[in-house]
Structure formats: C-alpha cells, structure tokens
Structure 1
C-alpha cells in the first residue's frame, strides 16, 4: 500500500516556519536567514535546502520544473521530481515558461523568467566569505559592517596568479548595494540573469541551515575591479550542434574515438524547443 504523506511532505507548522524565514530573506535581499533545516528522505548534498523551500511554497495549482546542471533527466532531477509528485500530485513540466516553480541545481534557465515564477537554487556553501574566514561569528560581523575586502582579495589573488578572475562558478555578487552573496555554483554565464530578474529567486542550503533571496527587480552586480571587469564564459564562434544556438551556455562534447570536439546546449529543454521551432 502506498504510504500516505501530508501535502508537500512537511507538517503545516514546519512549512509556516520555513515560509516566515523566506519572507524575512525577501525583505532583506542577500541576507542569510538561519532556519531549522528538516531531515529529508534524500541524502544531504542532493539539494535538501532547495527541496525544503519548494515543498514549503508549493500549492495545488503550481506547475514544477526541476533541473540539474541544465538537464531535466539527471538522476538528481528525477529523484526530486519523484519526491514532489509522491507528496503533492502537482503537475511536473520540462518547459521553463509553463512552470510556476523552478528548482535548479547550478543553472538558471536560458529562457527569461517572469513575475509569476519562483526559481529555487540549491546551495552547498551559502557563505561567500568562508574561504578566508572560518568563523561564523566573524563572518556575521563582517557582513554587518559591510566589510568585504577579503572577498575582493581572493579575486585579486586569482588575477595575480592567472591574469584573470578564475572563478568558474559561484562568483560572488553584491545584492541591492548591500550584502555580498554566494549565487550558488551557477556558472558566471548565469550571474547577469540574477540582475533585475522578474522572478523571485530563493536560495536554500540545507546542511548549512540558511535561506536567502533576491526579490524581483533587484540590483545584483558581480564583484570585479575597474581595470579587470567581470566577464562571463566566452563561446564566441561556437554553436550548438543540435539547434544552432550560439548565445547560450554550451557544453563541450569530445568524441572518444575521433577526438573531435562539438558543442551542445546545456539547457536541454531550451535546445529541444529550438529544434521544434517553438523559440528562435
């Protein structure tokens, strides 16, 4: 017999507590709000923070999309979708535009989001100052004093070593001219999508027990220097071998036999829509 769960797995009190933390996070963009992270029927590291946000926000009429590294069909994405459908019976979609809630591990979809959507990003390490300050107490003081010299220093050290800012993902951002925030390990290519986003962006770290958010139409700027500006990954001269897109984040595919290199869209739903003529 199929086991019965409360709608969206959690009891109503737990969902209310998490939603209160979400509201505080939205009210103070970029600020890390502590919350009582619940135990989940999936292993930590599989996005338990994001799942808790999704299950606390979800309603009977929502349509949910889950992606992992741009794919709708990875093991992580399928497992999360199964948990959601087993406990809510809400509609699941692969279409970015049809979804009201998008849970994502390490990507922001290529299609522009709208005001009626929530994107939930899974976060392993929410503290952008952790690489140079191990003390949680001290990082709170640094955030309170808006002292982010250390974050800039780490980028400066990369420039000295590699002649560029070598952050491939999780490049820190300043939110609403106030807090420096870890945007989750999304590629630098996706950082500009956070700026003035029409959708509400929620970020959850289950293991670290933190929730933070970027409300719609909020200024989000990637940290850089006047003489070394922030730059996203460069795919100039490359295009998807399936749909021909050249203005999206691409995966490099190496043929093991011939050694030839090709590229394809990381966002599988976007690629399929282009091939079907649904978008240009």
Structure 2
C-alpha cells in the first residue's frame, strides 16, 4: 500500500506520480490490491483538521487600499467632485452599501471605534450584518454612542448629535450623480459640472414649483458644495441637509455600483438649492413628539398601528433616543 501525503500538488509515491487537483473536502487516494479507493482527508487516522481562511486586515488587499486612499485624498481636495475608483467585489451585493463599506475597510485601524447605522437605527439587519463583517475582518471594537465613535458608516441618515473634529462619517450612496434626473448622459453631466452649467437643474426645480407650488424633492435634495459643484448628498431626508454645512467632521460618500467617491471636508460651505421667494425648508413635525423620549426637535418616523389605526412617532436615531431616556 502507498499513500499520498499532500492534498494538492504533484507527489511521487513509489515509481508512479500522482497529480492532485484541489478539492474543498481534502481527499486522499490509497492503492490497495491494485485498486484505488477514496477516503476523506478529515477522517484519516481519526483526526479532524479545521481549515481557516486568512484575510488581510480590513479584508481588502493593500493595493486596493492604496488606490482608494489616493482617490479619497483627491475627493477631499475637490469637495463635491465625483472621483472614479476601481470598486472591488465584496461579499455583499452591489447596491447594498459596497461603496461605503470599501471606504470604511480602507480607513479603519486597530484603535478605531466603529458605529454602523441604517436609517438611524443601530439594530437593523443591514447595519448589524455590516458591523459584524467589519469586526470579523478587523477585530475593532464597536459602539452605539455617536460621540464616542471615530468612524461611522451610515445609510440614509446623519446622526442627530453634532459630530466633532476627528470623526469620519461614511455614507452609502446608490446614485451619486445629482444631475441624473435632468441629463441621462454621463459625458454630458461631466461637461455640465466642469463648466458649472446647471441651468437644467434650476429649471427642474422651477417646474416643481409651477406644478405643485413648492419643490417636492423629499430626499437626495441637491446641494452646492464650496460654491461650485452640485452634489447628491445621498438619500438623506431634508432634515439632515443643513448638518453638512460647515460641519466639524469629514463626510465621505461611496458608491460601489457606480464606482464613485466624493467628499465634504470639515468647515466646507454646503448650501441647498433654493430660490429667494421659495426658500429651502425641512420636514415639519410641529405638534408631534417621540412616543418614547418625548423629543420634538429630532427627525421622527411615523408608525401606524395595524389594529387601531392610530399614528405614533419615534426618533429615527435610536441611539440618540436611548441616550435621552438615560439608558
């Protein structure tokens, strides 16, 4: 009897070579009485061996991280400008936060304190799964306290508490091009940004006023950054748009499917598009308070009781709500 000792490669046993092809079950061939038999490598000699997969810190390879960091630096140098980057394949589908996830994995370090939220909630399925993945490939600690976190990844919301200098907020972006509603051509939108030709966007807002008496854009409200580029602030509600103006923290926007990164550096001027006689306004929650903490100065989610049909309101930022209740 003779036995191969490795699960793949070319092994010389006796006078005959055996060429192995990788198999996830790790098999081993033995020849007995002139016949070939198949045994499971894991059960050989009664011993079970566990295979572990090793990743780089932060999952991405260093070449990918270097490229993304260079693009982030360019985005910071040109506030509001969409910088193309080589979006990598991630273990989640494109459109589910791969752009923001790649930025987070590129920037995160062993000493960082991570926070992940989805539409203001720390416990949503998307937020929990992304947080668990980031922790599994980096080993960093996580928190639900906004002011303690050094790196925050979010979808569709900016936290209620004002962020401080040194904090980074990474926003997941499905559609980075603010002009897509008025111009389908990517080549033409690039020309419009370069020349500052935003007449069609202003006409789009004017037509809203003519038809409905007001600008009816409820999310992805276009803003002008540093007096030049018109930018899509991601699908955040109007309530969060003023938080971009002269903030102390760095905002980074990542669109994995569209392969774009853009940024709003600290203390940058960010103004929503508006007319003098039709100024920008946020959602009106007059007369409504959070059913849990009693807050009337936060963005509220409306919940309809399926049984009684009543309406109740709750803070969208769940961590902020818990903090107000002293939990």
In structure 1, the partner of 2:294 is 244
Deviation at 1:158, TM superposition (A): 1.5
Q: Give the distance between the partners of 1:23 and 1:205, measured in 2 at CA.
A: 16
Q: Give the distance between the partners of 2:173 and 2:202, measured in 1 at CA.
A: 21
Q: Structure 1: which 5+ runs fail to align?
A: none
Deviation at 1:3, TM superposition (A): 2.5
Q: How does 1:15-26 map to 2 (within 5 A)?
A: 15-26=65-76
Cα deviations across residues 142-166 of structure 1 (Å, max 9, x unaligned)?
0010011111122112212221111
Structure having the higher Rg = 2
In structure 1, the partner of 2:118 is 68
Q: Give the distance between the partners of 1:150 and 1:4, measured in 2 at CA.
A: 51
The number of aligned residues is: 277
In structure 2, the partner of 1:258 is 308
Q: Give the distance between the partners of 1:188 and 1:64, measured in 2 at CA.
A: 26
RMSD: 0.9
* TM-score (structure 2 length as normaliser): 0.83
Deviation at 1:2, TM superposition (A): 4.3
Q: Give the distance between the partners of 2:187 and 2:250, measured in 1 at CA.
A: 29
Q: Give the distance between the partners of 2:93 and 2:142, measured in 1 at CA.
A: 22
List structure 1 segments (4+ residues) > 4 angstroms apart after TM superposition: none
Q: How does 1:176-255 map to 2 (within 5 A)?
A: 176-255=226-305
In structure 2, the partner of 1:96 is 146
Q: Give the distance between the partners of 2:291 and 2:97, measured in 1 at CA.
A: 31
Relative to its length, the structure with more strand (as a share) is 2
Deviation at 1:87, TM superposition (A): 0.4
Q: Structure 2: which 5+ runs fail to align?
A: 1-50
Deviation at 1:113, TM superposition (A): 0.0
Does 2:98 match 1:57? no
Q: Give the distance between the partners of 1:47 and 1:161, measured in 2 at CA.
A: 35
User: Which one has more relative contact order, counting CA pairs under 8 Å at least 6 apart?
Assistant: 1
Cα deviations across residues 73-128 of structure 1 (Å, max 9, x unaligned)?
11110111111011000011111011001100000000010001000000010000
Cα deviations across residues 214-256 of structure 1 (Å, max 9, x unaligned)?
0000000000111100000001111101001100000011111
Are residues 2 and 263 of structure 1, via their aligned partners in 2, closer, same or farther at CA, if it must alter by over 3 Å? farther
**Corresponding residue to 1:85 among 135, 139, 148:** 135
